[in-house]
Structure 1
Amino acid sequence: MTQRWHVLGVGAIGGLFACRLQGAGADVTLLTRDSAAPPRQLILKDRPTRTHTFAQQSIATSDAKTAADRPIERLLVCTKAWAAEDAIRSVAPDLSEDSTVVLLCNGMGLAESVAPLIRQATLILGSTTSGCRRTPEGELILSGEGNTQLGAFDQSMPPPIWLPDWQRGVPDCQWEPDIRSVLLAKVALNAVINPLTAIHGVSNGDLFAPLLREITAQSIEEVQRLLLAAGEAEIAATLPHRVRAVCEMTASNHSSMRVDMESGKRTEIDAIVGWLLTELVADPPATPHLRALYDAVKKRSHDD
């Protein structure tokens, strides 16, 4: 039976996963805020280059339209962290207790905000290291396959029946029962790399150049301090190695926070550094360097 998916947030990653799922045989519909919703083509520059055509469905419709008119069985959310709650609220009437929502966004704290909005629907959380960027012409340029990990918000839930479909279309896709630890490790990593590259306007690999090596180490140490206060010793211990490894593997890449800041867009600083500073532990230790980075990003970006 063909799996039906709706994708909310069709940027680079949302577009990539829409193409991957369609390539695995899924029936994929893109959700749009535009009242007119003609079919849309996405060109994925892979080996080989492929053109994917998708139906679109407008979420800017009358309140009289009910879930029975346009039900959403499975929803993949790839919006920016700050946009996720409002985006899901806009489609919540189209979800039922049999629906599944996969949240593939950066940051922490989103699941707790989203869960009440989707009522009895199943909530799945995801993390991906796949790299993709969208050109001004709208083409999707794959910069790294990476791996994708999925896990249930309710950790007692077994892998879903649709997981094999994802594993056919999404390279190195795994089910991870302890998805919170995966997400926390990624947030810790991003809390080091993203604000530094954004504030200094550098590529990832530059963080270990002589000019920035010391403040990079300072960021790592303060994120470790927060992790240890929360009892996350293993994630803290592996953080220095993971930061260096990612910076070396993606040396020429621009972090998403740097791209957002330089484009005059709102950043995801609140869901990454902001969450670590205020939500990870009830009585956080002093982290003046990390706080200064957070304040600098907020001041220079279009947040709030």
Structure 2
Amino acid sequence: MSANNYSAIIDKHKLPQVSIIGAGAIGQLIYQQLSRSNTQVNFISRADQSQQQAVTFTNLAQQQTTCAAMFIGRNDWSQQLVDTKLLIVCVKAYQVVTALKPLIKRLRHDCHILLLHNGMGPHLEVANMLNGQGLSLGTTSQGALKKSAWHTQQTGQGVTQLGHFTGPMLSETIKMSLLSSIPQSQWFEDILPMLWQKLAINVAINPMTAIHDCRNGELAAAQYRKTITAAVTELAQVAAAESIMLDLTVLLDRVYQVIELTAANYSSMHQDVQHQRKTEIEAINGFVVLMASKHGKSARTNQQLLASITALEQTYSNKA
């Protein structure tokens, strides 16, 4: 089905159009949640032609459904993106800027962009790319697993935290659509503290599980406590330099709570290393190191973790 025929089916004046970049597990999960509300939602494709794709979803109750998702191809970007009111970016952190560059010039000034990925950092570059659009940021602890390319299974509820970062605000209509469609979602006027708190969990769990080839729960062992404490302490100090005040005790308690709650899980970075994929280390420990350098501070432990993961990646760089 062409994008023109797709548009004819839907009254675009009644339904706000939301487009998603990234059809990974989280992208497909968000698509499923939004498509059940009064929202016109599609994916942005890198293929030339637009097409429909059957996507299957298994929810927490093990109920399976299949629907036809529209993927907007490059040939229809100019025509379709002008109708997009919200562009949700669900790719890996290191893919964000590259994915957005060819799209931003095709977006209307009143379109809003939402970054929903692990780690921090891309938001600073994206903010400089905007052409009148507003930018919001988010993080989610919802669990999702791709059983195949077009079959996603939700594996955990989790909390989704969203909030404004810069530029014009997201319209109340679309904001309420997001909050009503995504279970356990919250809107924060100041989203950055939430992102730093999530980053504290990631700087500890992600690299350590990848380096030591272990499940999350094994990090509760005493032998890892010194490194975890040091990494999170450095993060809190760097956040303070950015005027984000975080309670170190609360952060560490939360890290160990997540270690316990996800004890049987393998972290995303562990999985990336095991499958010889590029990791998001630059947007996690690397972001702490970058911000520390900006403020003339030391982040030695985060630098060591960054170096260790980078070294692991180099062992398979020729095979990836």
TM-score (norm 1): 0.89
Q: 1:284, CA displacement in angstroms? A: 4.3
Q: Distance in 1 between matches of 2:270 and 2:295?
A: 30
SS of 1:30's equivalent in the other structure is strand
Alignment size in residue pairs = 300
- Aligned match of 1:85: 97
- Determine what percentage of the aligned residue pairs are the same residue: 27
- Aligned match of 2:5: none
- Aligned match of 2:48: 35
Q: 1:5, CA displacement in angstroms? A: 0.9
Following superposition of structure 1 onto structure 2, how do residues 159-198 of structure 1 map, counting pairs within 5 Å?
Answer: 160-198=172-210
Cα-to-partner distance string for 1:5-28 (whole Å, 9 max, x where unaligned): 111011010110011000113211
- Aligned match of 2:276: 264
Does residue 146 in structure 1 map to residue 158 in structure 2?
yes
Does residue 239 in structure 1 map to residue 254 in structure 2?
no
Q: 1:285, CA displacement in angstroms? A: 3.6
Do the aligned partners of 2:112 and 2:170 also contact (CA within 8 Å) in 1?
no
SS of 1:56's equivalent in the other structure is strand
Do the aligned partners of 2:145 and 2:154 also contact (CA within 8 Å) in 1?
yes
Deviates more, 1:218-227 or 1:26-35: 218-227
Q: Distance in 1 between matches of 2:100 and 2:160?
A: 22
Label 1:240 to 1:284 Cα distance change in 2 as closer, same or farther (>3 A): farther
Following superposition of structure 1 onto structure 2, how do residues 69-80 of structure 1 map, counting pairs within 5 Å?
Answer: 70-71=81-82, 72-80=84-92
Q: Distance in 2 between matches of 1:151 and 1:43?
A: 29
Gaps of 5+ in 2: 1-13
Do the aligned partners of 1:125 and 1:153 also contact (CA within 8 Å) in 2?
yes
Q: Distance in 2 between matches of 1:102 and 1:183?
A: 14
Does residue 127 in structure 1 map to residue 142 in structure 2?
no
What RMSD over aligned residues (CA atoms) do the two structures have, in Å? 2.4
SS of 1:95's equivalent in the other structure is coil
SS of 2:246's equivalent in the other structure is helix
- Aligned match of 1:7: 20
- Aligned match of 1:18: 31
Gaps of 5+ in 1: none
Deviates more, 1:257-266 or 1:83-92: 257-266
Label 1:148 to 1:155 Cα distance change in 2 as closer, same or farther (>3 A): farther
SS of 1:85's equivalent in the other structure is helix
Do the aligned partners of 1:2 and 1:26 also contact (CA within 8 Å) in 2?
yes
Label 1:289 to 1:280 Cα distance change in 2 as closer, same or farther (>3 A): closer
Q: Distance in 1 between matches of 2:127 and 2:230?
A: 35
Label 1:66 to 1:163 Cα distance change in 2 as closer, same or farther (>3 A): closer
- Aligned match of 1:54: 69
- Aligned match of 2:220: 208
Q: Which amino acid aligns with 1:212?
A: Y
Q: 1:68, CA displacement in angstroms? A: 4.6
Q: Distance in 2 between matches of 1:228 and 1:160?
A: 31
- Aligned match of 2:9: none
- Aligned match of 1:112: 124
SS of 1:171's equivalent in the other structure is coil
Q: Which amino acid aligns with 2:157?
A: E
Q: Which amino acid aligns with 1:24?
A: S
SS of 1:279's equivalent in the other structure is helix
Q: 1:169, CA displacement in angstroms? A: 1.5
Deviates more, 1:274-283 or 1:74-83: 274-283
TM-score (norm 2): 0.85
